[in-house]
Structure 1
Amino acid sequence: MSEEKNDNLQFADGGAISGAGDTFENGYMPDNKVVENSEVPEDLEDITKIHETEGQLPFAPVEVLSGGKKTAVDAIEESNAEEGENDSADKHDLPEVNYESLSMEALTDELEKLTTAEKVMSVKEHVEEIRKEFYSKYHEFIDEKKEEYSHENDGDTTGFDYNFPLKNRFDQIYNQYRDRKNSHFKKLQNDLKSNLDNRLAIIDELKNLVDSEESMKDALKHVNELRERWRNAGPIPRDKYNHVWNNFHFHMERFYDHLHLDRETRDMDFKHNLEQKQKIIARAEELLQEEDIVKAFRELQSLHKMWKEEIGPVSREHREEIWNRFSELTKQLHDKREAFNSQIKEREQENLRKKQEITAMINEIAAETVSSHNGWQNQIRKIETLRNEFFNAGKVPLEVNEDTWAAFKAAVRNFNSSKNSFYKEIKKEQQDNLTKKQELVAKAQSLKDSEDFAATTPVMKQIQEDWKKVGHVPRKYSDELWKEFKAACNHYFDKLHAHRNEANKEELDAFEKKKDYLDSLKDFELTGNHKTDLDAIKKHIENWKAIGRVPQNKRHIEGKFNKVLDALFDKLSLSKKEAEMVKFSNRLEQLADSDDSRRLENEQIFIMRKIDEVQGEILQLENNIQFISNAKADNPFVKEVRKSIDRHKEELNTWKEKLKQVRNINQGNE
């Protein structure tokens, strides 16, 4: 601390003293030192009390004196010793990142960014976590590919080999980092040993200085040089840290005791040290309000290091009080850190619960029976969503991390196994479909140039129907196969249409004539004489039929003519049955001219159903009459039922006449 270094006490000869203190600041009684009885502890218990008061022991760790129980101060001392060994100047906090949520590409980019831009020790934990996550995802990915290969090769994985360039890139980056880290550790070990030797040499030099014959001025100058060399000596192995430091402090105290410094100078130094330690306490109080617990605790470690290494002792009257205050603040901050860690553990337990639920949901989905491509695609989307939720759920307790990941991988593997089995069957089915469609293409191509249209057209239509019934084929063949099939069919039907256009020239002429005739009917008007008008309408029907058939794709004109007839019949005073039969006869003749026997057959089936329905209704009405047989003939209900029976019988006769006409036409066609 530069400002504190400038506050060091100055002697007239230029020698600086920082940390000069009372003879028994750390409980040591130097040999050949005469002291006042009031300054001497009465027994070893008092010496131990002084040690505990300042939190410093020369050769025994604190936990030994405190019954084996580690305190907040102990934790900080150990951490400082560890960071001293690892060169704390090379360490700094990096923001927490949920590496589980990153893809392998993102993890590789993150590794490259950390290892090229940061110091080796500052990223060590992050790098290892990235490596663990990358390899977890990589092994899962390779397992999926291997399982797919196994399904495609009937369970044989002998020749499985999957090249994944991203892994090569990741390994290259990591290996470069590992080489840098190994070089760093090798150098660090050499530096630690060299620094330890250097510090031990400084202690020996300081020890010998006590018995030297140097003048006070030279001795003080020599001590300040040793102190400066000590500050710059660098880190040492952490298991030597406390012992070496306490040894140095002990011999530094012996040196100042040996100088017989006057009490006024000592009190000035005590006062200066008290002020510096009060500043540390004030800062520790501020740290209690710091929201970033990790940052606060790290700074507390630095405060302890300053208290121990950079500031000397205070007078006995303040010693216990000031140390107890600092220890209490340390405990409070330590308790906050423990509470914070408890919250982290609670979050990790909650994350564990979420991940276990996600794994259970994946197992449930894997156990579902799915028998369609769309169904599996929906399941795949569900699994992908759950995978992302798993990776975004956050960390779980370290002791169950491997088991949690293994259970998740097993669940995903089970799902993939079921999915791959389905698609293996689909692939086999698609191969069968491919063979069927190839046969249909070959058949269509063999018939496309046929001129026996009467025999070939039904076959080509059946080929098209068969094509529709065949399922999917492998995508890489689908488009080309369809183009070949479509080209063959189009080639044939283009020839057929050309032939029909030539052969049906008369039908096209008939269509034009019927268009003209339909236009002429717009001016036709009824005279009002029933017989005359009916004969005129029938004449129009005969003229229309005499014109002849029209092409199949022009048959809509028949519908227009029927609408005109319906309008004319509505204006005639014909009975309902008579009008119905005239219109039906005209429609029936159009069906007969359509060359589609199925249409006549369908009409006959429809009429037969209507006959059955009307007969059933008549039977029901007659049964109803029987239930009220004792009613009078003029009963309104009875009269209404009998009227309904008569109407249905009249309707039945109409349907029977229609059926007779249809059958006559069918017999004529035979």
Structure 2
Amino acid sequence: MSEIDNLQKADGIEENKSIINNDDTTENTSSEINETTPVEISQINSDETPVEVTEPVNEDSPEEKTEESDASEKEDVINEIEESNAEDAEDEGNKERHTIEVKEYDKMSLESLAIELEKLLKNEKIQAIKAPVNDINNEFKTKFQALLDEKKTEFLNDGGNEIDFYYSSPIQKRFKTAYKEYRNKLNDHYKSLEKNLKQNLADKLEIIEELKGLLSVEENINTTYKHFKELQEKWRNTGPIPRDKYNNAWNSYHHHVERFYDFLHLNRDLRDLDFKHNLDKKLKIIERAEELAQDDNIMRSFRELQELHKMWKEELGPVAREHREGIWERFKVATKIINDKRQVYYKEIDKVYEKNLENKLKIIASIDAINTQENSSHSSWQKKIKEIEALRNDFFNAGKVPIKVNEATWAKFKDSVRTFNKKKNAFYKGLKKEQFENLKKKLELIKIAEDNKDSEDVQVTTALMKKIQSDWKKIGHVPRKDSDKIWKQFKTACNYYFDRLHSKRNAANHEQVDAYNKKQELLSSLKELSLSGEKDKDLSTIKEQIEKWKNIGRVPNDKRYIEGKFNKSLDGLFSNLKMDKNEVEMIKYENKLENLNRTDDDNRNLDNERSFIRKKIDEVKSQINQLENNLQFFTNVDDDNPLVKEVHNNIKTHKQALTLWKTKLSKIKELY
């Protein structure tokens, strides 16, 4: 059995047990107890071991008063604290780690996360930012993956192939650059730390060797005691050592400190002076702990409490036996108050996390409800896409949830969104096929428009252009990438044709306005026209005016009322010639037909006129038949009867009218 083992057994300390030696000089090079592990009162044992010890320490320890049922739990907690102390001993930046502000990274944008990472690299020690950097990195990956899924969906909806999808963001590049810098700096830190750990271990082993030599040095006890205190201070100021060497080095150091105190009992004055110094310091620690127990800033109080326990355990030696249990109990009470407040604080945080979880589950349920709805149109899908986007934002802004369900909640959310995207993609794939069919139809209309844009057949082409424009509106959507291109192509062809047509019509309109003005002048001259009284001569004069009128040309459509004025003037002139009414009517009708034949859409106007004449002929024939049928009802009535005479006169009038209409029809046929 080693020398260290012998001493531990003699002092009642069993190796690897949960009770920490009650000599407070036990080394803990951690700058503070791990923040995530509450400091229970029973975890740090009572005060110092007296110099002259004849009984096992654990019999005097306050821990012996605790319930046996807590022993296993305490042992686990102590082991966890000791392991944490050894781990923290390798981290010189432990203090700095706890001073970094914890922010709500889940509510930050991608750009804000990149900026925050750059700030940490610039302003904080590299060994102090591991936790926030990990949080930032996880949040950035989550949000960027969501953005990537969104961009991929848009790409597929636009007709792209999944294998061709690629998306790169300047923010992603910026973040990757900063994160790579963090990894490089951290690696450099660990290399430097490893070198320092080895040197610190060598320095502490040298201190242990010097402690060994104190007992064999022949010099004044005061000088030896001063040298001992210098070695203690040197040990405390020496930096961290490798974790796997931590316990062995400390046990060896502690063993030789114990031997020196045994040696020191020969000079009780120095020992009592040391006890008094340690008591004063520990009372100040207790007073500060009691102040912290009243502080409302729970986490700050807890961090400082860890420092107080470190000072109590590492920096101060034993006190007199009569004060030992009393000050330890007082320190325990203050520590328990702070611990209890911290537990309440974490319970409140847990309540917030549970509420956030409840909200996130409601959001997921809302997405699932949308997934059950049927959407059969582009507009309805666009509406649902906006709703899902709003729910996604609500989910990301809902805050953190308990760690134990974080991954499961995120997976459930992704599954719900993925289900929506699958249904949406299936709809748009079907819609895409329809859009390609629509594209083919519209390309055919473009070909028709371009083939006929230079046509001179105004009547046919204008009707055709109007029809294909109407057909274009009836055809549904085409792929977005083709939409603007084909519309511009179709619009250009149609505009080209109608611009030509309007240009011709504008020129014709100018001529028609000029013709109107000339006809106004001719109409005014007819009012002053005087006839000779000779029928043939006057008839020739009137026909000469009619010919002049015809030669002037067509007037604008909104000025065609002037033709009625001209016919009215002709009626006045013809009335002086004592001519047959039907003959006069035919002269005016021939003038009308001439005007109809001069128009651009003459065929249509002549067709309409022919249909009108035929309809009038049918009407007159029907009226004559009706009148002749009526005569059959007059039996045994003389022809001199007034009613019979009226019927015969009406038949005669209608037959004359029928002759006139037939003459007009023959004139129209001559034009064809």
Would you call these one fold, judging by a TM-score over 0.5? yes
Q: Is the 8 A contact 1:27 1:48 kept in 2?
A: no
Would you say 1:300 and 2:322 are equivalent positions? no
The offset of 1:304, in angstroms, is: 0.5
The equivalent of 1:70 in structure 2 is 74
For residue 121 of structure 2, the aligned residue among 90, 115, 118 is 115
Larger deviation, residues 197-206 vs 495-504: 495-504
The equivalent of 1:98 in structure 2 is 104
Amino acid at match of 1:481: Q
Would you say 1:422 and 2:430 are equivalent positions? no
Distance 1:472 1:509, change over 3 A: farther
- Highest CA radius of gyration, 1 or 2? 2
The equivalent of 1:534 in structure 2 is none
Would you say 1:477 and 2:485 are equivalent positions? yes
For residue 506 of structure 2, the aligned residue among 489, 492, 498 is 498
Matched residues in 2 for 1:54 and 1:220: separation? Answer: 34
Larger deviation, residues 62-71 vs 194-203: 62-71
The equivalent of 2:283 in structure 1 is 278
Name the SS for the 2:71 alignment partner: coil
For residue 361 of structure 1, the aligned residue among 358, 366, 371 is 366
For residue 456 of structure 1, the aligned residue among 455, 461, 464 is 461
The offset of 1:226, in angstroms, is: 0.9
The offset of 1:302, in angstroms, is: 0.3
Summarize the alignment of residues 423-572 of structure 1 with structure 2, pairs less than 5 Å apart.
Answer: 423-473=428-478, 474-477=482-485, 480-481=488-489, 483-495=491-503, 497-498=505-506, 501=509, 505=513
Q: Deviations over 1:352-377 (max 9, x none)?
A: 22112212212222332223333333
Q: Deviations over 1:100-143 (max 9, x none)?
A: 23333332232222223321221101111222222233344444
Larger deviation, residues 83-92 vs 388-397: 83-92
Q: Is the 8 A contact 2:47 2:325 kept in 1?
A: no
Matched residues in 2 for 1:467 and 1:500: separation? Answer: 31
Q: Deviations over 1:312-357 (max 9, x none)?
A: 3222222111101111211221122122222222222222221122
Q: Is the 8 A contact 2:286 2:330 kept in 1?
A: yes
The offset of 1:502, in angstroms, is: 6.0
Name the SS for the 2:308 alignment partner: helix
Normalized against structure 1, the TM-score is what?
0.63
The equivalent of 1:530 in structure 2 is none
Summarize the alignment of residues 86-165 of structure 1 with structure 2, pairs less than 5 Å apart.
Answer: 86-87=91-92, 88-89=94-95, 91-146=97-152, 157-164=162-169
Q: Is the 8 A contact 2:126 2:189 kept in 1?
A: yes
The offset of 1:411, in angstroms, is: 1.7
Distance 1:186 1:289, change over 3 A: same
Distance 1:417 1:54, change over 3 A: same
Distance 1:269 1:119, change over 3 A: same
The equivalent of 1:342 in structure 2 is 347
The equivalent of 1:289 in structure 2 is 294
For residue 27 of structure 1, the aligned residue among 49, 55, 69 is 49
Unaligned runs of 5+ in 1: 1-17, 30-34, 56-61, 517-548, 558-593, 598-664
Matched residues in 2 for 1:286 and 1:556: separation? Answer: 108
Distance 1:450 1:431, change over 3 A: same
For residue 263 of structure 2, the aligned residue among 258, 262, 278 is 258
Unaligned runs of 5+ in 2: 1-23, 26-45, 525-553, 563-603, 609-660
The offset of 1:92, in angstroms, is: 3.3
Q: Deviations over 1:607-636 (max 9, x none)?
A: xxxxxxxxxxxxxxxxxxxxxxxxxxxxxx
Normalized against structure 2, the TM-score is what?
0.63
The equivalent of 2:58 in structure 1 is 48
Aligned-pair Cα RMSD in Å: 4.3
Amino acid at match of 2:240: P
For residue 209 of structure 1, the aligned residue among 209, 214, 229 is 214
Distance 1:314 1:259, change over 3 A: closer
Amino acid at match of 1:436: K
Amino acid at match of 2:143: K
Amino acid at match of 1:374: S
Distance 1:308 1:368, change over 3 A: same
The equivalent of 2:577 in structure 1 is none
Q: Is the 8 A contact 1:152 1:424 kept in 2?
A: no
Distance 1:415 1:73, change over 3 A: closer
Matched residues in 2 for 1:63 and 1:245: separation? Answer: 30
Name the SS for the 1:95 alignment partner: coil
Distance 1:348 1:427, change over 3 A: same
The offset of 1:489, in angstroms, is: 4.5
How many equivalent residue pairs?
494
The offset of 1:196, in angstroms, is: 3.2
